[in-house]
Amino acid sequence: MTMLPSSLPPKKLGLVIDLDICVGCHACAVNCKQWNTGGHSAPLTDHEPYGNDVFGVWFNRVHGYEVDDGKSGRAVYFPRSCLHCEDAPCVTVCPTGASYKRGEDGIVLVDHDKCIGCKLCSWSCPYGAREFDEDEGVMKKCTLCVDRVYNENLEEWERLPACVITCPAGARHFGDFADPNSDVSKMSAERGGYDLMPEMDTKPVNKYLPPRPRQLDEKPNQLLDAPEKGFLGWLDKVLS
């Protein structure tokens, strides 16, 4: 068993993911892969990269769904990665202390030197957010780009997770949820940011913004009328 931080971290770093404008383009997933394969948890190993059964380690995966909303239906894209939960079951289940939640900012990380590859954490994570590197025999996962967000070799505007900085639609945001005035806190409050599977009591830090209501035909709408009679009758009025 591994303990969570004894007091709430002063910062709660995490992501807001806007499902209203995610186009499912996988930019976040691939940019994450290229940053992280050379970063904190390097490498993000790929097995049979050019073979029949290619599979690799990804910290972020994007799924597409069709939803029957009782109206015209809709397609939704859902990027899935570690939610850096406050009550992270993947931490408390870890027998060696490899899986831990940082006391200063709440980021959940794995210490690969301590990881014995038992996979208990991946069994306990309800979101399937852990990725086992079979080659190295250790568990890997989203680090919230801990090697970017504090990296003083980067310019200040670049100190963001790779998935956030690359997202073409602007659907991903990073910030401190402990600060009610942060952009992510405000955005989440305004747009009804929600927890994924709250019934699991994991208290995820990351929030998803639901799709905005569609502007269908709920606006009262006057169909076009042709009050003037005759061929281009309205034109005579316009020109007179």
Partner 1 sequence: MCACRCGIKVHLTNGEVRYIQGNPNHPINKGVLCAKGSAGIMQHNSPARLTKPLKRVGERGAGEFEEIEWEEAMEIATKWLGDVRSTAPEKLAFFTGRDQSQSLTGWWAKEFGTPNYAAHGGFCSVNMAAAGIYTIGSAFWEFSEPDWEHTKYFLMFGVAEDHDSNPIKRGLGELKGQGGKYISINPVRTGYAALADEWLGIKPGTDGLFVLALIHELLRAGKVDVEYLKRYSNAVNLVIQDGDEDGLFVRDEEGNELCWDVNLGKPVPSNGKDSSPALKGEFTLADGRIAKPVFHILAERYLEEKYSPDAVAEETGIDGATIKRIAAEMAHAAFEEELTLYIPWTDWCGRKHDKMVGRPVAMHAMRGISAHSNGFHTCRAIHVLQILLGSIDAPGGMRFKPPYPKGLDSMPKPTGMLKDIKPNTPLAGGHLGYVTAPEDLLVDDDGKPQRIDKAFSWDAPMSAHGLMHMVISNAWRGDPYPVDVLFLYMANMAWNSTMNTAETIKMLTDKDEETGEYKIPKIIYSDAYYSETVAFADLILPDTTYLERWDCISLLDRPICDADGPSDSIRQPVVKPNRDVRPFQDVIIELGARLGLPGLTNEGGEAKYPGGYSDYIINHERAPGVGLLAGWRGEDGDELGVGAPNKRQLEKYIANQCFWRMELAPEQRYFKTINKDYLEYAADMRFIGSAKPIIGQIYSEPMQKFRLAAQGKGEVQPPESHRKRVETYFDPLPIWYTPFENEQKGVEEFPMHALTQRPAAMYHSWGTQNAWLRQIHGSNNLHMSRKKAEKMGIENGDWVKVSSRNGEITVQVELMDGVNEDTVWTWNAIGKRSGAWNLEPDAKEAQEGFLLNHLIDERLPADEHGYAQSCSDPVTGQGAWFDVRVRVEKVNAKPNQRSEPVFETVKLPEGMQKRPDILRYGANFKKKGMSS
Interacting residues with partner 1 between 20 and 49 (CB under 8 A): 20-21, 23-27, 29-31, 33-39, 42-49
Give 66's strand partners: 75
Contact pattern from residue 145 through residue 174 relative to partner 1, giving x for each residue in contact according to CB under 8 A and a dash for the rest: ------x-xx--xx------xxxxxxx---
Strand ranges inside 57-107, DSSP E: 61-67, 74-80, 99-101
How near is the Cβ of 195 to partner 1 at its closest, in Å? 23
Q: Which is nearer to partner 1, 135 or 201 (CB)?
A: 135
Asked if the bond preceding 49 is cis, omega within 30° of 0, the reply is no
How near is the Cβ of 185 to partner 1 at its closest, in Å? 18
- The footprint of partner 1 on this chain (CB under 8 A) covers a number of residues equal to 74
Residues 106/144, Cβ–Cβ less than 8 Å: no
- Torsion 50-56-60-63 (CA) sign: positive
Q: Which stretch binds partner 1 (CB under 8 A): 94-102, 113-121, 201-209, 210-218?
A: 210-218
Q: Which residues make Cβ contacts (< 8 Å) with residue 187, sequence separation at least 6?
A: 16, 173, 193, 209
How near is the Cβ of 189 to partner 1 at its closest, in Å? 16
How near is the Cβ of 140 to partner 1 at its closest, in Å? 12
Q: Which is nearer to partner 1, 105 or 147 (CB)?
A: 147
Q: Which is nearer to partner 1, 87 or 135 (CB)?
A: 135
Find, among 65, 92, 81, 96, the residue nearest to 201 by Cα.
Answer: 92
CA distance 202 to 183: 23
Tell me the C-alpha to C-alpha distance, in Å, between residue 161 and each of 80, 132, 205: 15, 21, 15
Q: Which is nearer to partner 1, 5 or 24 (CB)?
A: 24
Q: Which is nearer to partner 1, 55 or 194 (CB)?
A: 55
Q: Interface with partner 1 includes 235 (CB under 8 A)?
A: yes
**Positions 72 through 111 that interact with partner 1 (CB under 8 A):** 72-77
CA distance 96 to 111: 10
CA distance 170 to 71: 27
How near is the Cβ of 53 to partner 1 at its closest, in Å? 8
Q: Which two tokens stand for residue 137?
A: 């025999």
Among 6, 7, 181, 215, binds partner 1 (CB under 8 A): 215
